Chains A and B, each alone.
Chain A
Amino acid sequence: MEQSYKMYVEVGAVFERDGRIVPKWLKIGDSRYDIERVLDCRRAASMKAGGCGLRYSIRCRGQNAYLFYEDADPGAWFVESRKAVSAEEIL
């Protein structure tokens, strides 16, 4: 299996009235990426990056990617990243 790294990212999200959390954008380095669509949301483990939580399948700049919400205390968002961290490689 290809080794990935866990990269925590800054995320802007909306807390819906029914309790759902919908991510709207994420920030990698200095660039901000708007999330065009959330395709799916389910609890899943990331064996690649090492972690588990709510896995959002998102569409961003025409690319599909996973964004995880780790509902620990404190909760945090992460993406699976290859070592050389540039946003283009994740998305």
Chain B
Amino acid sequence: MRTILHSDANCFYASVEMLHHPEFRDVPMAVGGDPETRHGIILTANYIAKRRGVRTGSALWEAKETCPGLVILPPDYDQYLRFSRYLRELYGEYTDRVEAFGLDECWMDASESCGIKGDGEKIAKEINRRVKKELGITVSVGVSWNKIFAKFGSDYRKPDAVTCVTGENYRQIVWKQPVSELLYVGRSTSAKLKRLGITTIGELAESNPDFLYAYLGKMGRTLSVFANGEDRTPVSFAGEAPAVKSVGNGMTMPYDLRTDEEVRVSCYMLAENVARRLRENGLAGDVIEIYTRDSELRGRTCQHRIGIPTNISGEIAEEAFRLFRENYCWKNPVRGICVRVSDLTGEKQPYQLSIFQNEAARRKQRIMDRTVENIRRRFGDDSIRRGLMAFGPDITPRKRKEQVIHPLSYFQKGNLSGA
């Protein structure tokens, strides 16, 4: 049996700010994006603000309305990265298997260190105590024999708590909870499960995996494995960088998009950036994906395998836009878009040509992409643009420092759960 810990820094951004600004410790406070560029949402709120109804993801004005007197600070990512590094250094004293899941969460596999450092619970309590003392923020730690239940444990009681999910108590702790508490059961999966009469994790665990497979596809089996605590996904070693699995670029638009044409322009804008990064890394991919988020903040992903690996901006953009047109019903305007290419191969890899595809034209497009890139490098990003860019939102995706803020996919290295 493995000993897996999951440590989650409580209200991470807000806690770091509260440490540095003692005057905001006893007032409702939140860290929020810049309202000027419409990144005006709450990223994290402290517990006082949360109790008064401030939710992560709500607009700044909305939050101020629900909680008058709310103090909103701009995010300081350098500071958060520093604390994230401190946390990982501290975890690293207990095991070399430390896998980050975003800035504020980490899994640790302490199976090998239990002999020296004591059992999982002891290590968890020590980490909890040390983080508070040494870094001045709090963490919730979950301890279990698999990653899924460990994560569940860290969410179960917060802030500043240790929860052990053991073979004896998991039926009481985990199985009684609503199914949406399980990793990878989001809004749409839980709605589907509800239609089957499955509302708790226990009910999911006791359902026939073949039945779940028939109903939910591959994910059905995986979720069954998750719910039963049979997940075998290993914890990566610290510093082990997963191979690039996809290249994407997304952004929140400066204003809501209301027409197909505006979305098309945005697709081109994003696809050019994706294509450039693919080329820089000598990659091409044949699965094109578009993620849209509407003004109600509802997200949706559509993807399609085009059959021929590409890193041509025009092809990526047109495919992304086609997917969008076929799947988006325009009930709400579009707030943000992300274009992504996955299932990557080396761009020099041979591939099966198609008689329906004009390879000579593709070659020309590839040369054109490179030429445009050269011109931009020499004369600036705005020196040359597609004509259609004149008709859409003015969004030049900025080249930013690479930063992984959001948790990566649990299946970064493929599905290793054993399902």
A3 vs B82: C-alpha distance when bound (angstroms): 25
- CB of B20 within 8 A of chain A? yes
Say whether, besides A72-B79, A73-B78, A44 and B133 are in contact (CB < 8 Å): yes
Does A45 lie within 8 Å of B19, measured CB to CB?
yes
- Which of B19, B23, B132, B133 contacts A51 (CB under 8 A)? B19
Judge if A47 is at the interface, Cβ distance under 8 Å.
yes
Q: In the complex, are the beta carbons of B134 and A50 less than 8 A apart?
A: no
In the complex, B297 has a CB within 8 A of chain A: no
* Any B CB within 8 A of the CB of A32: no
A44–B78 CB distance below 8 A: no
Contact with B along A46-78 (1 / 0, CB 8 A): 111111100000000000000000001100000
Known: A44-B134, A72-B79. A52 touches B22 (CB 8 A): no
Cross-chain contact A52 with B78 (CB below 8 angstroms): no
A47 to B136, CA, bound (A): 7
| Assembly CA distance A43 to B132 (angstroms) | 11
A51–B157 alpha-carbon span in the complex (Å): 26
| A17 at interface by CB-CB < 8 Å | no
Contact between chains at A52 and B79 (CB < 8 Å): no
Q: How far is the CA of A36 from the CA of B79 in the complex (A)?
A: 32
By size class, the interface of chain A is 10 to 19
Nearest residue, chain B, Cβ from A48: B22
Collect the chain B residues with CB atoms within 8 Å of residue A3's CB: 22-23
Closest to A46 in B: B136
**1/0 contact string of B293-336 vs chain A (CB within 8 Å):** 00000000000000000000000000000000000000000000
With A72-B79, A73-B78 known to touch, is A52 a contact of B21 (CB < 8 Å)?
no
* Cross-chain contact A42 with B134 (CB below 8 angstroms): yes
CB distance from A24 to the nearest CB of B (A): 25
Judge whether B196 is part of the interface by a CB distance below 8 angstroms. no
B79 & A50 in contact (Cβ 8 Å cutoff): no
Supposing A50-B22, A51-B20, A52-B19 touch, asked if A45 and B135 sit within 8 A by C-beta, the answer is yes
3 smallest CB-CB distances across A and B, nearest first, come from A45-B136, A43-B134, A50-B22
23 A-B pairs, CB-CB below 8 angstroms? A42-B134, A43-B86, A44-B133, A44-B134, A45-B19, A45-B133, A45-B134, A45-B135, A45-B136, A47-B19, A47-B22, A47-B136, A48-B22, A49-B22, A50-B19, A50-B20, A50-B21, A50-B22, A51-B20, A52-B86, A52-B134, A72-B78, A73-B78
